[in-house]
Amino acid sequence: MLVDSPPEQCAETAPAPPTRRAARAFGLLLSAAILVLVALASIAIGAKSLSLDQVWHGLFHGTGTYGDVVVDERLARTVLGLLAGAALGLSGAVLQALTRNPLADPGLLGINAGASAAVVTAITYFGVTSLTGYVWFAFFGAAAVGALVWLLGGSRGATPVRLALAGTAISAALYGYLQAVMITDDAALGTMRFWTVGSLASATNSTILQVLPFLAVGTALALGLARPLNAVAMGDDTARALGANLGRTRALAMLAATVLCGAATAACGPIVFVGLMVPHVVRSFTGPDLRWILPYATVLSPVLLLGADVAGRVVARPSELQVGIVTAIIGGPVFIFLVRRRRTAQL
């Protein structure tokens, strides 16, 4: 929980005043409108810029002109950006609520390391060379590490600190393995150095279809957990007193976060900071009620991810900067600013 925001414990018991609720609903609509604009920009802007007119033509009346082909190429990338962004933001928000740790990030729980280790294994020992082939490995790597962190973190008795420690420990061991493989196998190094920065550039329709079912299930699960997680955020004792089933909520939240983040990482490589930063920004204007945080994070995270992707295409034209690099370079300073602004940052 944010430390300097006023406690809004009434959120669970009494509904917010109608005007504030209306304002929040309007804000959500506004965010969705911004998302549409950013998505259009993501299709229009690139090495070759298109006018909105051409974008419209390519989207709805495609006849195979040069512009239409470009739109087609960028469409998959934009859709993947939308899906992955929403998944990362949502899983970050859920993890922060679950661990009561404002710094919880899929990377902290070892999910990125699990996916990376699985991909490098796929390349080196199974001879997988296509991105569609990695996706399954990355996903199962992420899921396996998520489950392992959960078990080592104490499963139903997991505490925030134990989960973070277990994640750090497993990441360390896996990165050691990753580096050992990269040093001894040039082919793995050649692929991994591009995979580990996180990029939307290689998105294809088949990648999207592979991860879509997982993202759908994860999103539904996460959004449904808003209420019980609200109770968990108040502390174990209060949550129990309010009748929340702590063990089940934690297990389901961990499952949702792992599925979402695992699928997103599988499709575009490890992307840091989207899951960390967006929930913070959202919380600063919604307050601590997860019933608002989760939808806002779902809508605003893709804005950040697609925005970063567009920025990466613009600054390095005609080449491009991978989105994972841009999010970290934007996200790092924002994160430090947030840490500095707060009176006491709780870990």
From 172, 209, 220, 241, residue interacting with other proteins (rule: CB under 8 A): 172
Nearest C-alpha neighbor of 279 from the set 257, 300, 263, 256: 300
- Is 124 among the residues that bind other proteins (CB under 8 A)? no
- Is 30 among the residues that bind other proteins (CB under 8 A)? no
The residue type at 70: V
SS3 342: coil
Q: Which structure tokens are listed for 185?
A: 């196998």
Q: Are 296 and 286 in contact (CB under 8 A)?
A: yes
Size of the site for other proteins (CB under 8 A): 49
Residue closer to other proteins by CB (options 57, 317) is: 317
Count CB-CB contacts under 10 A for residue 157. Answer: 10
Q: How far is the CB of 237 from other proteins (least distance, A)?
A: 19
SS3 91: helix
Question: Near other proteins by CB under 8 A, which window of 21-29, 67-75, 290-298, 328-336?
Answer: 328-336
Site string for other proteins, 260-279 (x = CB under 8 A): ------------xx------
- Is 197 among the residues that bind other proteins (CB under 8 A)? yes
Residues 6+ apart with CB under 8 A from 18: none
In angstroms, the first-to-last Cα distance of the chain is 10
The H helix count followed by the E strand count for the chain is 15, 0
Residues 69, 71: Cα–Cα separation, whole Å: 5
Question: Near other proteins by CB under 8 A, which window of 138-146, 286-294, 296-304, 339-347?
Answer: 339-347
- Is 101 among the residues that bind other proteins (CB under 8 A)? no
Residues 317, 280: Cα–Cα separation, whole Å: 31
Question: Near other proteins by CB under 8 A, which window of 49-57, 126-134, 243-251, 333-341?
Answer: 333-341
From 51, 65, 179, 205, residue interacting with other proteins (rule: CB under 8 A): 179
Residue closer to other proteins by CB (options 263, 277) is: 277
Q: How far is the CB of 122 from other proteins (least distance, A)?
A: 19
- Is 147 among the residues that bind other proteins (CB under 8 A)? no
Considering only residues 303 through 322, tell me which ones interact with other proteins, judged by CB under 8 A: 321-322
SS3 340: helix
Q: Are 315 and 321 in contact (CB under 8 A)?
A: yes
Residues 264, 68: Cα–Cα separation, whole Å: 27
From 174, 261, 299, 304, residue interacting with other proteins (rule: CB under 8 A): 174
- Is 1 among the residues that bind other proteins (CB under 8 A)? no
Q: Which structure tokens are listed for 140?
A: 């199962």
- Is 175 among the residues that bind other proteins (CB under 8 A)? yes
- Is 125 among the residues that bind other proteins (CB under 8 A)? no
Residues 6+ apart with CB under 8 A from 227: 12, 290, 291
Tell me which residues touch other proteins (CB under 8 A).
Answer: 103, 152, 154, 159, 161-162, 165-166, 168-177, 179-180, 182-184, 186, 189-190, 193-194, 196-197, 272-273, 321-322, 324-325, 328-329, 331-333, 335-336, 339-340, 344-347
